[in-house]
Amino acid sequence: MKHKMSALEATYTPQSYKTFTGALCSFLEAEFPQMAGTSTRLMFANMINLMVNNFFPKAENLRPGQTPWTTIDKNEKGSYGKSIKNSKLVPVVLTVIQDSDILERAKGKKLKEIKQEAAIRIATEAYEQGGCMTNAEIAILLKISANTVSKYIKDWELEHKVVVPRRGSIHDMGPTLTHKRIIIHKLFIEQKSVEQTSRETYHSLYAIERYISTFRQIMLCKDNHMNTDEVAFAIGKSKRLVKEYELIIDGYANEIEKLKDIINKHAHVENNIEKFANEYGQEI
């Protein structure tokens, strides 16, 4: 039985449709009549409305020096031939300039240091909001070159022994040597747990296991006096990747005994990874 509207309902119900969602539903009905049903159009309009609210935050919610930005979802994995059009994007709010930047500059702090800290802050804020910035994105925001951003972040990572979360390191895209060095250093030189290393470097357990496994293989080959070409052929890796690990090994030339211990500790690390994955339900 059809519901009979009261006088109040007849008068005021149409007013509730005078919204962005209502206008979008009318647009869809007029321009895309093949879209089945009022309920489907309403659901679609509500989803678009939600995206608009997320991607265009109200100005009053932004502090001076902040800007909305759209970047890659931190869980979006890169693959050969995958374009940005096929990648999930998320909205984030980034602090390009903070109050302390102005005061520190007034006191004589170098502009390079301020921009370096801004680059680290932007990458970290994006990751905490579910995004993953590239060096190019940070360069656009700070009006410097992508190479400069790369140098700023690399110097910071080496000095502070941390991995700054960005697309190159988190998604293993591009020749990012620093995070491999830091992970190996944390596990075998600083003797940190797998859990702590995973958390501090923003890397999955699988990625850490893969770095250690490759590092161990290359160490064994180098211990048998194999050159780069021979190592690459023996373990089925590219020469570029082998050279990256060789640089790490050379960096520990004065700690050869600790490097030899890595071979014995490798199984221990793998067991820790499996145990941690089972305990916390994380895929490796």
Judgement on whether residues 101 and 74 belong to the same structural domain of the protein? yes
Q: Residues 101-153: pLDDT tens digits?
A: 989 999 999 999 999 999 999 999 999 999 989 899 999 999 999 999 999 99
Q: What is the domain-level CATH number for residue 67? A: 1.10.472
Residue 41: band (very low, low, confident or very high) from pLDDT cuts 50, 70, 90: confident
Boundary-marking domain end, from 151, 171, 191: 171
Helix (H) or strand (E) segment spanning residue 68: strand 66-73
Residue 158: band (very low, low, confident or very high) from pLDDT cuts 50, 70, 90: confident
Closest by Cα among 139, 84, 134 to 116: 139
C-alpha 163/C-alpha 182 separation (Å) is: 7
The mean pLDDT value of the chain amounts to 79
- 29 assigned to some structural domain: no
Judgement on whether residues 153 and 216 belong to the same structural domain of the protein? no
Judgement on whether residues 115 and 186 belong to the same structural domain of the protein? no
Judgement on whether residues 187 and 158 belong to the same structural domain of the protein? no
Boundary-marking domain end, from 117, 138, 171: 171
Residue 280: band (very low, low, confident or very high) from pLDDT cuts 50, 70, 90: very low
Cβ atoms 117, 60 nearer than 8 A = no
**In this predicted structure, what is the pLDDT of residue 94?**
95
Judgement on whether residues 164 and 209 belong to the same structural domain of the protein? no
Exposure of 112 by Cβ count < 10 A (0-12 exposed, 13-18 middle, 19+ buried)? Answer: exposed
Judgement on whether residues 201 and 273 belong to the same structural domain of the protein? yes
Judgement on whether residues 163 and 188 belong to the same structural domain of the protein? no
C-alpha 123/C-alpha 150 separation (Å) is: 12
Residue 180: band (very low, low, confident or very high) from pLDDT cuts 50, 70, 90: confident
- 15 assigned to some structural domain: no
- 1 assigned to some structural domain: no
- 111 assigned to some structural domain: yes
Domain count, the chain: 2
Rounded to two decimals, the pTM is 0.61
Judgement on whether residues 195 and 117 belong to the same structural domain of the protein? no
Judgement on whether residues 134 and 194 belong to the same structural domain of the protein? no
C-alpha 22/C-alpha 18 separation (Å) is: 6
- 279 assigned to some structural domain: yes
Q: Ranked by mean pLDDT, which of 25-29, 75-79, 217-221 comes out on top?
A: 217-221
Judgement on whether residues 151 and 184 belong to the same structural domain of the protein? no
Q: Is the pLDDT of residue 278 over 50?
A: no
Task: Determine the residue type at 23.
Answer: A
Boundary-marking domain end, from 171, 198, 213: 171
Torsion from C-alpha of 226, 230, 231, 235, nearest 10 degrees: -140
**In this predicted structure, what is the pLDDT of residue 151?**
93
- 165 assigned to some structural domain: yes
Q: Residues 16-38: pLDDT tens digits?
A: 666 778 788 888 888 888 877 88
Q: Is the pLDDT of residue 190 over 50?
A: yes
Range of the domain at 185: 177-284
